[in-house]
Structure 1
Amino acid sequence: MLTEFGLALKYVRARGNTLYYLADDGTEVGVFDAASGFGSLMFGHNNPEIVEHAKWLLDQQTPVHAQFSGYSFALNLAAELNTVIRRELQTEDKFFALFGNSGAEAVEISIKHAEMDRGARIAELKAEIDTHVEQARTAVANGARVSADAAAVVGGTDFDHLAAEVARRNAQTEARPPLFLALEGGFHGKLVSSVQLTHNNEFRAPFKALAAQARFIPRDRPELIAKVVEDERSTLLDVTVQDGVVDLVERDFPIFAAFLIEPIMGEAGIFPLSAQLAGALREACDTFGVPLIADEIQSGMGRSGTFLAGTQIGLKPDYIILAKALGGGVAKLGVVLVNEHRYRKDIELIHTSTYGRDGFSSRLALKVLQMLEADDGKAYQLAAERGAKAKAMMEAIKADYPDVVKEVRGVGLMLGFELHDQSDSSSPEIREAVEHEALAFVIGGHLLRKHQIRIFSTASNLETMRFEPSIHLSDEEIARVDAGFRDICQILRDQDASRFE
């Protein structure tokens, strides 16, 4: 497909916001990379400071593998991440760090931890019920009786029968698999478990039988959370004794393990969540006892203008997932940060990852954090300022082409430029491209060949072009995108597919 649309270039060099390929005559051609590793390159391709540090680490013979030892450079990284996270969330709570190789693996780690936490809560609940059953057994031996209501539920007044029936019914409920909550349009990876939390059915459906399922909530309807939870509600039977009467009560069974959200929904089309929604999600999670997990894989590490995109909407998550830019565009690294009040330390014994805490990646990530925090957070300021200028450029195009441009969205250097649906185009070629979900490739190929711009649509919203360059975005690069986008808009306004190169 990439070959068909002229996108299958062999890039031979990369620096800053530019990728280079060799033309047929062997000369090097530079292309402005607006995709930026899907948000991985906060400091650009092969940033000299990061590359120099990586070389130094290798020259120092930094131990990459030192498992089962008393010290890991990941401890330093966890400490530095805590400093930044606690500042952003304005909390004194500590966060424990669990490391993996990628964002998708970090999501898998968070799923495993959340299920471990749910299992522990179920075990505590079962232990309480078992204690209550034995207390009731003793009370019956001393003359207590089974209530008529309880007898009607279990089919008899014999206590041994009641206890057996409670155990049988509870075992059936406990066998129910866990569920997760996520937002419609959300993207959390493509591994076995993480793909089930990704809303795009094309990615999810082929593997539906392999992992725990999710229930998806529209991002503009947080009031539906209560309905979804009620629809899936399960209970365990518990036993009480009061005034010599044994009765049954229902206890809510924790069927939902966690609620995963993106503060800026990337693959849905770059949709920032609102402060109102952030508050509603936190309230719902507190009400139903479900941990709130913020997937900041694409939006975090300063891309929005703050270290966490959730900071700008007052989001207070229990877990935070970081990856992509954490490794500086060089190392592959992901981390889950879990609030101390939710953390289950036994996870460290049963989840491991060979490269998850390696010395090279950890020390390189420390360098990235230092660069982000340097000069009173100048990198964050650049992300905000450069992003605001790029967004203003796109808004001006929208004002000139309201019939072509539907919306400009995003924060900082995570922007989306959405075109109106072209399925009713007067051009047969454009209609055919839309029908085959290929218009984004046509546009991408044209921008690449004519304007030397490398850009893609978002995965689940093909009308939205993603814009995620590094903080070193120049005025010249913004002007180039301005010209390229205006060219596309004029072609679509004229419905003249023959001008696509």
Structure 2
Amino acid sequence: METECVDETISNYEQFINPALVRLFRLMGLSTLEWTASGSVITDNSGKEYIDCLGGYGVFSLGHRHPAVIQAVKEQLELMPLSSKVFFSKPLSDAAAALARVTPGNLQYSFFVNSGAEAVEGALKLARIATGRKKIIAAKNSFHGKSMGALSATGRDLFRNPFLPLLQDFIHVPFGDISELRNVLDEKTAAVILEPLQGEGGIIVPPDDYLPAVRALCDQVGALFICDEVQTGFGRTGAMFAVDHYGVVPDIITTAKALGGGVMPIGAFTATAKVWEPYIESPFLHTSTFGGNPLATAAAVAAIKVVEEEGLVEQSSVKGEKLLGKLRFLAQAYPEVIREVRGKGLMIGIEFTKEGVGGFVMAKLIEQGILAAYTLNNPKVLRMEPPLIIQADQLEQVMAALTTSVAEAQSMIEDL
């Protein structure tokens, strides 16, 4: 591509989007344009290929441009791209039925939105109207989105403080500590909202007995349990949903990211029939102009079908176990660089010993054609969330690049 086009794009970012983003991208060695993508590979305007180990923060579980999802969207595009909102919609009904089938337990009714933050907003509203209570308990270090309600649940002051005061009656407790939750959970609590694994918090895996204990405490006081599976859903952790690892069924579950098959933006919140009763009595209490549109719901139906038919849950489990093993071996070899490796399936975090190391390793990986990024809440943690379809030879390339990058980080630390 002509240099003028690249220069024009970057200039437009500086003048019309955000000059700080330009400085950040350049610092990471990303003064290039994403141009095409297929499977687990993104190609820039110069033709350089990158193995995508970031996966759009969980969006590209099926890889880029999966042909089944592309075909479903193309077919719907020729029929009706957006809904009139006055007739029944077959893609919408099919997507809702598919979610009811694959989500845990007796979760049944779904409302479709355009993003994970919107799904959280809807879940919080539903919890309050279904219980008649206001108090919401969330976790410190959590991430649920940056709209006002979702941000009220998000547990990081860096994002919260500039927008105070947020919604009232939100309390944050340490993630994984059931005693702290027990101290604040009471009959005034509408819901507890948790990520089964904290994503932006640094890929934090709770103790095995934590989520079952949360479920039991909620039942004791009549509070609802909301599981935010926006990042963990649809096979990412080696189970269809992360709560499946723990045998837990929430009252409400939020989904997005991978639900669109890497092609369309879509989110949803899904709940039991009992919890959904207020919306059955008043179906227009919560609405969305573009939520549940035909293109997005057609993509969701196709995406769920691909996850099931291609065995992506099992692939995530097997590939993730192998990758975790290799990464932990690397951590043992470089203890001055890597503090810990943790995760489930293909949702993996590498925590470094020093904050600057994450950025250094990330830049070195990009030089070698590997895309990865650190988590928003913890810049010491580099996340690995490649497409679930990633091939064995591509994972070998990733490990080779990581080994080289970590070795260079070791030399940098020794020179300090």
- TM-score, normalised by the number of residues in structure 1: 0.74
| Distance 1:78-1:404 versus aligned 2 partners, 3 A rule | same
Counterpart selection for 2:70 from 39, 51, 64: 51
Per-residue deviation at 1:321? Answer: 0.6
Partner of 1:348: 283
Answer whether contact 2:83 2:89 (CA < 8 A) is retained: no
Cα distance in 2 between the residues matched to 1:404 and 1:105: 38
Residue 283 (1) aligns with residue 182 (2): no
Matches within 5 A, 1:419-438: 419-421=352-354, 434=356
> Tell me, which stretches of 5 or more residues in structure 2 are unaligned?
1-23
Cα distance in 1 between the residues matched to 2:414 and 2:265: 40
Cα distance in 1 between the residues matched to 2:363 and 2:210: 37
Answer whether contact 1:7 1:445 (CA < 8 A) is retained: no
> Which shows bigger deviation, 35-44 or 383-392?
383-392
Per-residue deviation at 1:63? Answer: 5.0
Matches within 5 A, 1:140-289: 178-229=134-185, 254=188, 256-289=189-222
Counterpart selection for 1:3 from 12, 18, 26: 26
Answer whether contact 1:72 1:357 (CA < 8 A) is retained: no
Residue 363 (1) aligns with residue 301 (2): no
Superimposed CA distance per residue, residues 388-414 of structure 1 (whole angstroms, 9 cap, x where no aligned partner): 221122111012112221111111111
AA matched with 2:373: F
| Distance 1:498-1:454 versus aligned 2 partners, 3 A rule | farther
Cα distance in 2 between the residues matched to 1:213 and 1:2: 38
Partner of 1:18: 41
What SS is found at the alignment partner of 1:332?
coil
AA matched with 1:349: F
AA matched with 1:47: H
Residue 416 (1) aligns with residue 349 (2): yes
Cα distance in 2 between the residues matched to 1:17 and 1:107: 29
| Distance 1:69-1:458 versus aligned 2 partners, 3 A rule | same
Per-residue deviation at 1:305? Answer: 1.8
AA matched with 1:29: K
Answer whether contact 1:113 1:347 (CA < 8 A) is retained: no
Cα distance in 2 between the residues matched to 1:315 and 1:8: 45
| Distance 1:347-1:368 versus aligned 2 partners, 3 A rule | farther
| Distance 1:69-1:225 versus aligned 2 partners, 3 A rule | same
Partner of 1:35: 54
Cα distance in 1 between the residues matched to 2:215 and 2:342: 24
| Distance 1:31-1:63 versus aligned 2 partners, 3 A rule | closer
Residue 323 (1) aligns with residue 341 (2): no
| Distance 1:276-1:55 versus aligned 2 partners, 3 A rule | same
Cα distance in 1 between the residues matched to 2:365 and 2:38: 20
Cα distance in 1 between the residues matched to 2:406 and 2:194: 33
Answer whether contact 2:120 2:144 (CA < 8 A) is retained: yes
Answer whether contact 1:66 1:358 (CA < 8 A) is retained: no
Which structure has the bigger radius of gyration? Answer: 1
Superimposed CA distance per residue, residues 266-322 of structure 1 (whole angstroms, 9 cap, x where no aligned partner): 011111233300111011111222100000000001111221111011122100111
Answer whether contact 1:491 1:497 (CA < 8 A) is retained: no
Cα distance in 2 between the residues matched to 1:308 and 1:381: 12
Answer whether contact 1:180 1:212 (CA < 8 A) is retained: no
AA matched with 2:53: A
Answer whether contact 1:273 1:313 (CA < 8 A) is retained: no
Answer whether contact 2:126 2:275 (CA < 8 A) is retained: no
Per-residue deviation at 1:326? Answer: 0.5
Q: Identity, % of aligned pairs?
A: 27
- TM-score, normalised by the number of residues in structure 2: 0.89
Cα distance in 2 between the residues matched to 1:291 and 1:35: 32
Partner of 2:114: 101
Partner of 2:20: none
Residue 440 (1) aligns with residue 358 (2): yes
Counterpart selection for 2:402 from 457, 481, 485: 485
Give the count of matched residue pairs: 391
Superimposed CA distance per residue, residues 126-169 of structure 1 (whole angstroms, 9 cap, x where no aligned partner): xxxxxxxxxxxxxxxxxxxxxxxxxxxxxxxxxxxxxxxxxxxx
RMSD after superposition: 2.0
Cα distance in 2 between the residues matched to 1:402 and 1:111: 42
Partner of 1:495: 412
**TM superposition outliers: structure 1 runs of 4+ over 6 Å:** none
AA matched with 2:403: R
Residue 73 (1) aligns with residue 91 (2): yes
Cα distance in 2 between the residues matched to 1:383 and 1:181: 31
Cα distance in 1 between the residues matched to 2:288 and 2:362: 37
| Distance 1:223-1:475 versus aligned 2 partners, 3 A rule | same
Answer whether contact 1:294 1:320 (CA < 8 A) is retained: yes
